[in-house]
Amino acid sequence: MRFSFQSPLLIWDIDGTLIEAKGTGRRALNSAFEAIYQVPEAFNELDFAGASDHDLWEQARSRYAPNATATQAPHFFREYLPRLSDELSKNPLNPLPGVVGLVAFLSQIGWPLALGTGNVRAGAYRKLSRAGLANYFPGGGFSEPGQSREAMLQLVHRTQGLGRPAIVIGDTPTDIGAAHAGGIPVIAVATGRFPEDALRRAGADAVLPHLKCRSDFIDAVLWLLQR
């Protein structure tokens, strides 16, 4: 299949967009926090939708370990990663319906794929590896201390887009707001917590119920590029 335009950089969220996370990240974060600070279930009441791992860590730290400092984040995530691996071994992650066929097709036709995720880098690739998707995403943007999701998406576009137009694919209003703040349009998929109406109200440029239909996704991309 050939197209008469420059192929866009497609920047993908992970949890709720590419895979069904099944709470693996939350359980691993809880386990790491309890091991270090002796506080169980510190992340249970936090909103994970569109949040970054570092934002969640800062929220839990400020609530339950106020004497801890931000410099302890690297130690915390070193505790987190093996616990995430343990969770993934017990709860294998599956790609959401249609994802494998879609990203394989996009790679085959040469459309560049990147990540724009709230996961720390090593956590992101552990999840994707368990779901059989890691090889499709050679790079992207990840949770970094003090970096907003908006800044992360802008950096991905600037460093990996090579002058191409970019489109973000996500499943939360946070994904939509961060992309728009950076001037990037969004295809939102209702495969996470938020239904189609909520994603439209949040301002998504296109909304899909799922990624099962390759032609619907391609049509949405073409429509955004023509706009």
Residue 220 has pLDDT above 60, yes or no: yes
Domain boundary pick from 46, 65, 90: 90
**Residue after which a domain boundary falls, among 44, 63, 90:** 90
Range of the domain at 62: 24-90
Q: Does 146 lie in the same domain as 128? A: yes
Question: Token pair for residue 37?
Answer: 């600070």
Question: If pLDDT is split at 50, 70 and 90, which confidence band does 163 have?
Answer: confident
pLDDT 10s digits, 170-215: 999 999 999 999 999 999 999 999 999 999 999 999 999 999 999 9
Structure tokens at 102: 């879609």
Mean per-residue pLDDT over the chain, rounded: 95
Q: How many domains does the chain have?
A: 2
Distance (Å, rounded) from C-alpha 51 to C-alpha 203? 18
Q: Is the pLDDT of residue 4 over 80?
A: no
pLDDT digits (tens, 9 = 90+) for 60-76: 999 999 998 889 999 99
Q: pTM to 2 decimals? A: 0.95
On whether residue 78 sits in a domain, the answer given is: yes
- pLDDT band for position 2 (cuts 50, 70, 90): low
